[in-house]
Amino acid sequence: MKLILAALCVIAGCSAQAEVTLPTAFIYGVGERALTYERAREALDLARLRVREELGVHLRVDAEYRVRLHPPSPDYDYIPAQHRTLSRLRRFLDRGKRRKRINIGVISPLKMGEVFYVGGLASDICSIERRGVAFANCQEENQAGAPRFNHSVTVITHELTHLLGGHHTNELPATVMHPNAAAFVDEMFPLPFAEGTKAEVRVCVERRSGG
């Protein structure tokens, strides 16, 4: 995996030093059809590389945790279920005072009926000072065998960018902050960051508190 990241750095021209470093917690969610730990960490690192190179923010992983998240019942409602998952991650982090400036979970895919999907949710936008929490529902491939790793990387990048100040944008061609960004991955990967998103992140990071 280090070779992959090194190659990407050569292609993208990684800077020697990031503009801003934020302590980050990685939560690996064990569950049905979840990525392996190694692939989850690889997906996160690819997302972190893009955030560092294109947004100027180094998300330094200072802590890693593993949690088991039981999938909701097949007839659940999407939005309430995602918020319940977010609440569970918050409680897990708060019980042990585990929160960092950025907290990202890479967990099992959404299960709707008998079908699994990628997805995600962030606690809020520009939440560095509030030590926000986000997660991405990830999988290696869907039940039809279609690859979903790049889609998972896109969702992780999308949710991290929310925590750093990025809002949704519906502009086309699609960017990483499109509300349904993963739907465009088969056409283009990686999706670009809009200039407006980069500006939003700069404003958020500049007003963050120290520590």
Task: Report pLDDT digits (tens) over 160-211.
Answer: 999 999 999 999 999 999 999 999 999 999 999 999 999 999 999 998 745 4
**Residue 45, pLDDT score:** 98
Name the strand (E) or helix (H) holding 62.
Answer: strand 57-68
| Sign of the dihedral defined by the CA atoms of residues 49, 51, 52, 58, in that order | negative
Tell me what the pLDDT averaged over the chain comes to.
88
CATH number, domain 20-206, options 3.30.50.10, 3.40.50.9100, 3.10.20.440, 3.40.390.10: 3.40.390.10
**Residue 113 confidence class, pLDDT cut points 50, 70, 90:** confident
* Cα 185 from Cα 173, distance rounded (Å): 11
Q: In the predicted model, is pLDDT for residue 151 greater than 90?
A: yes
Query: What angle is formed at CA 140 by the lines to CA 136 and CA 142, rounded to 5 degrees?
Result: 95
**Residue 12, pLDDT score:** 43
Please give the model's pTM, rounded to 2 decimal places: 0.88
**Residue 146 confidence class, pLDDT cut points 50, 70, 90:** very high
What phi and psi, each to the nearest 5 degrees, are found at residue 65?
A: -135, 155
**Residue 187, pLDDT score:** 96
Nearest to 80 by CA among 116, 112, 104, 125: 112
What's the token pair of residue 150? 């790049």
Task: Report pLDDT digits (tens) over 13-55.
Answer: 444 434 799 999 999 999 989 999 999 999 999 999 999 999 9
Task: Report pLDDT digits (tens) over 78-106.
Answer: 788 899 999 999 999 999 899 999 999 99
Residue 174 gets which letter from DSSP?
-
54-68, 111-125, 149-163, 188-202, range with the lowest pLDDT: 111-125
**Residue 81, pLDDT score:** 84
